[in-house]
């Protein structure tokens, strides 16, 4: 036990090791139990945040499953952190509401897999096995949405309101929209104030607004951040 979080192992030889980050306790418990019952899958830890999961997992996982709508964090920032800590990690995004903006961010971030909450558990199990084998695995619902939008497949490019933003611009946007100053944002991201000012200027130019308030409204309206 660590901070009230369970350490779950099933010990399959050569199993796909999984870390689950989901702050919905009942759903995470149920999902862990279901995955534990699948041959060849090993949930080594589940936690409500990536930081706790990284502390609790005693071995690098093969697959990280992260809830897209974390209450106390950005799933995409968590994904970037995980990839730095575990360079060979494969990431599956677990989504409650399939917003176009979320789907587009996932494609831009090269998320390895995406599964919708309401889909059968088999979709998630299949996705885990696929991404562990080095392939992309967007669930039928997500893949269908991409095709409808003219992408053809889950690896294709998209053209959403937020797709023209770089990963760093998303980081800056999240901080500014949360009310952080340019100085605070620069300190948090480890860059200079001039760098943040330049990102802010490019952000406003790209989305056609002229103030931080308007930029925040744009981000909320398009579903790029959670209000």
Domain residue spans of the chain: 16-148, 167-221
State residue 208's pLDDT score: 81
Q: What gap in Å lies between CA 113 and CA 198, rounded to an integer?
A: 33
Q: At 168, give phi and psi (nearest 5°).
A: -65, -40
SS3 for 98-121 is: CCHHHHHHHHHCCCCEEEECCCCH
Q: Give the pLDDT of residue 39.
A: 92
Sign of the CA dihedral 123, 128, 133, 137? positive
Most confident among 1-15, 35-49, 171-185 (mean pLDDT): 35-49
CA-to-CA dists, residue 69 to 14, 28, 149, 202, angstroms = 31, 13, 23, 27
Is the whole model's pTM more than 0.75, yes or no? no
Is residue 166 over pLDDT 90?
A: no
- Residue 224: its pLDDT value, please? 63
CA distances from 26 to 33, 47, 73, 76 (A): 11, 12, 19, 23
Query: Which pair of tokens denotes residue 61?
Result: 């996982």
Reported as a single tens digit per residue, the pLDDT across 117-162 is 888 888 899 999 989 988 888 888 777 776 655 443 444 333 344 4
pLDDT at 160: 44
pLDDT at 4 (0 to 100): 30
- What one-character DSSP code corresponds to residue 98? -
Give the C-alpha separation, 173 to 67, whole Å.
21
- The better pLDDT of the pair 142, 198 is held by 198
pLDDT at 148: 59
Q: What percent of the chain has pLDDT over 70?
A: 82
**What's the rounded mean pLDDT across residues 89-105?**
86
Domain spanning 167-221, CATH architecture: Orthogonal Bundle (1.10)
At 53 the pLDDT is: 85
Structural element, H or E, at residue 93: strand 90-95
List the single range of 59-63, 116-120, 146-150, 169-173 with lowest mean pLDDT. 146-150
Confidence of residue 221 (pLDDT cuts 50, 70, 90): low
Q: What is the mean pLDDT of the chain?
A: 79
The pLDDT of residue 1: 26
**Residue matched to tokens 């009310």:** 179
Give mean pLDDT, residues 57-61: 84
Class of domain 16-148: alpha beta
Is the per-residue pLDDT at 194 higher than 80?
yes
Tokens at residue 20, please?
């689950």
């Amino acid at each position: 036990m660590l901070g009230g979080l369970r350490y779950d192992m099933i010990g399959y030889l050569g199993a796909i090791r999984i870390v689950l980050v989901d702050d919905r306790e009942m759903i995470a418990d149920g999902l862990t139990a279901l995955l534990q019952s699948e041959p060849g899958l090993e949930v080594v830890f589940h936690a409500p945040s990536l930081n706790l999961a990284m502390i609790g997992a005693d071995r690098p996982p093969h697959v990280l499953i992260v809830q897209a709508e974390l209450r106390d964090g950005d799933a995409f920032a968590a994904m970037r952190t995980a990839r730095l800590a575990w360079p060979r990690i494969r990431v599956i995004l677990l989504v409650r509401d399939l917003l176009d903006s979320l789907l587009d961010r996932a494609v831009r971030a090269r998320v390895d897999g995406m599964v919708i909450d309401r889909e059968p558990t088999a979709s998630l199990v299949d996705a885990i096995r696929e991404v562990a084998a080095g392939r992309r695995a967007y669930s039928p619902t997500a893949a269908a949405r991409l095709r409808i939008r003219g992408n053809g497949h889950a690896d294709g490019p998209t053209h959403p309101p937020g797709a023209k933003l770089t990963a760093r611009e998303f980081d800056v946007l999240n901080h500014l929209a949360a009310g952080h100053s340019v100085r605070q944002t620069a300190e948090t991201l480890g860059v200079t104030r001039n760098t943040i000012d330049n990102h802010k200027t490019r952000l406003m130019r790209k989305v056609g607004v002229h103030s931080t308030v308007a930029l925040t409204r744009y981000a909320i309206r398009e579903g790029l951040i959670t209000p």
